[in-house]
Amino acid sequence: MVELGDEDVSDADRLAADADQRREAWGATLDDMTAMADELEADGWETVRIAAGDSGPFGPSSQKGDSEAFGLAYVIPGDKAQEVSDLFEQASFSEYEIYRAENNGLVYMVTALFAPEIQTAILVAGAWEMRHALECAMTAMDEGLMYTFLQKLDGTVVGVVEHDDPEKFFPNVEAIKSYAPNADEFDDSNAQTDEA
Q: What pLDDT does 85 receive?
A: 97
Give tens-digit pLDDT for 25-49.
Answer: 999 999 999 999 999 999 999 999 9
Tell me what the pLDDT averaged over the chain comes to: 88
Give tens-digit pLDDT for 4-21.
Answer: 444 666 777 666 667 788
- Mean of the pLDDT values across residues 96-107? 95
Q: What pLDDT does 126 receive?
A: 97
Q: What are the counts of helices (DSSP H) followed by strands (DSSP E) for the chain?
A: 5, 10
Q: What pLDDT does 169 receive?
A: 97
Q: What pLDDT does 193 receive?
A: 42
Q: Which residues are bridge partners to 75 per DSSP? A: 54, 151
The whole model's pTM is what?
Answer: 0.84
DSSP conformation letters of 128-165 = EEGGG-HHHHHHHHHHT-EEEEEE-TTS-EEEEEEES-
- Among 150, 176, 147, 149, residue whose Cα is nearest residue 164: 147
So where are the chain's domains?
A: 2-195
Return d(Cα 154, Cα 71) in angstroms, integer: 18
- By residue count, the chain amounts to 196
Q: What pLDDT does 2 receive?
A: 43
- Mean of the pLDDT values across residues 97-120? 96
DSSP 53: S
